[in-house]
Amino acid sequence: MRLICGILRLDGSTASDIELNAMAAAMTAPGLSPHVATRLDGPMGLAVLDFTGAATKPVQLGEWIVAADMRLDRPVGADEAIFVDALQQGGPDFPDSVDGDFAVALWQRDTATLWLGRDFIGARPLASTCRPGKWFAFASLPKGLHGADLAPATVDRVAQGVRLRQSFFRGSDSGFAEIAYLPAGHSLRIRPGDASPPPPHRAYRPDPGRVGCWSGTQEEAADVLRRLLQDAVASRIPRAGPVACHLSGGLDSSAITVLAAREGRRRGQPVLALSMTTEQPLGPADLDERPLIAAVLAQEPDVAHFVAHDGLRMPGEAEDPDWPGSLVDGYDDRMMARAAAFGAGRLLSGVGGDEGATYNGANLYVRLLRQGNLRTLMRELRARARREEMPLAKALRDRLILPLLPRIVRDRLVRRTSAMHPTTGIPRYLHPDMREKVLERSMPPILQANTPHERTTAFADHHIPSRCAYYAIMGARHGVAVSFPLLDRRVVDFMLSLPVRMFLSDGYGRQPFRRAMRGILPDRVRLARNKVGLFDERFLGYALRKADLLARAGELRTASPEAAAMFDLDAIAAGLALLPDAEAIARSPSAREALAEGVPPWLPLMAVECLIAATRLHAPPGARPG
């Protein structure tokens, strides 16, 4: 794993390594000792932190000095030279011509120009801050900036509200008021004398006009996808040493684990699978992911396995200072620690599958109807009804008629809610003034209409870069770099080229991936109807702590104007009150069944999430260890 940082003196004064060393120290987690190499050149200072023992440093190539955090798909020659060549040929579009995971800084000495670039999907993060007319600083992680006192750790409340509602940040949002990420697939140019940075340039611009243009059969699509996925996994396994993989039992992580196991076996490199489950197998059996995980491990018996049990996040617990809402010693943190202990410097994750490789768009049957593809529509509805052993009329109702109804009618019929719902989700717990700002900045829904514009938006302007940044932050705590085979550029481009009709076949969605994985995934996994995990244990844990949670909410209502400015603390208390009492739990096999009639089970859980965030706002500076 590498991290980078730098500072450019906009007033033309000479840079020093004091700020570079402070940023490097802030980004180095306890127990780690990276090799730190700095390079000063007039107003520019650059640094590379190498956690692999390779002693990487900023590289000078003629008039260029390059600092890069990178893993390239198809490297040719000196890695850093690829960026110089791309910039000289493509100018501000240079990030779009380099395939791989990277965040890079290039200093052109003769023109005194700094260029920053980030890969098309944001696999490697890069944050920045600016004091107009004085200096511009950047670092792989936000704590490199606020931990070195180059920017305050002041919370961007609207961005945090969006993260609560949609799990991740949007675009340049970092969660901090004076720190911004360079958006994925963008470049930035800045020179001494500039008062502040110009807007970043979008280099990755997928063309909606080319979406759905591929022609061929299901079998041909499956063959192409299989080859691309095999290569994407193989290119991300390091040249030597172990590799770790996420394994949830779903299509995405299971395929990556099996492909990594086979490639690792061929090379003689061990593979570790990392899973998160609840401690007790509670809930509906058909939603339990344990048998799916077991099927993968039974097929690949030489894969080592580690299970981190889901834990309860409680108000006031330690969080990583780069990611509010994370949990130090939570399941993601423990999995990264185990990967490092296994000797794996890289972890492969299935992020991005839903948007591409295993496309999981909603309302695909509606899209076929709107395209006038009636023959495919009726064939697949009949196949779906047969596979799920239901009358065709019910398949029509569930897959076609309900999605066509207005949302307010549909919500009343199916009685669903989620954290993202504008009235019954997280926004109900926000202060009214904050609620409108959060809804305005929130990311638009994707994978609902399945239009070309929506499909490209999923990669170019949505949650994936922030999700990648989260795993980068968790990995950086342990010296582990995370890579995402399903976000390989060739895989993404191929899946965008497929027409919507290719995603349905034989009564199954998530095609042609299921077809491509024949002989790779166990059929129990490849053909599974559901895999959503189990959360009854979390309900139970919070229900047993109901009195403490209500007490904490009461304290905030009387003592925290900061929390009251962002949250509706009365609504949070009302949401917590919906948790079952101990007596109700004693009478029921699970907390979910002990909920009052008509109460959506996510409602009290969302109240807990907001209480945790409100407690964080109330905490004094320095009280968030990580």
Question: Distance (Å, rounded) from C-alpha 24 to C-alpha 226?
Answer: 41
pLDDT of residue 278: 76
Of 430, 441, 476, residue with least CA distance to 169:
441
Question: Distance (Å, rounded) from C-alpha 490 to C-alpha 346?
Answer: 21
pLDDT of residue 325: 81
Q: Provide the whole-model pTM.
A: 0.94
pLDDT of residue 586: 76
Say if CB 353 and CB 252 are below 8 A apart.
Answer: yes
Question: Distance (Å, rounded) from C-alpha 527 to C-alpha 508?
Answer: 8
Number of C-beta neighbours around residue 188 at 10 A: 22
The domain locations on the chain are: 2-142+179-202, 215-357+478-526, 362-415, 536-618
Question: Distance (Å, rounded) from C-alpha 553 to C-alpha 460?
Answer: 39
**335 to each of 2, 24, 71, 243, how far by Cα in Å?**
19, 24, 22, 13
Question: Distance (Å, rounded) from C-alpha 83 to C-alpha 104?
Answer: 8
What pLDDT digit, counting tens, does each position of 466-521 carry? Answer: 999 999 999 999 999 999 999 999 999 999 999 999 999 999 999 999 999 999 99
Number of C-beta neighbours around residue 415 at 10 A: 9
* CB neighbour list of residue 499: distance below 8 Å, 6 or more residues apart: 212, 213, 214
Rg (alpha carbons) of the chain, rounded to whole number = 25
Q: Which residues of the chain have pLDDT under 70?
A: 75-78, 280-286, 414-417, 531-536, 589-595, 597-598, 619-626
* CB neighbour list of residue 607: distance below 8 Å, 6 or more residues apart: 429, 571, 572, 573, 574, 575, 576, 578
Domain 215-357+478-526: give its CATH architecture. Answer: 3-Layer(aba) Sandwich (3.40)
In CATH terms, the fold of domain 2-142+179-202 is Glutamine Phosphoribosylpyrophosphate, subunit 1, domain 1 (3.60.20)
**331 to each of 308, 323, 470, 475, how far by Cα in Å?**
5, 15, 13, 12
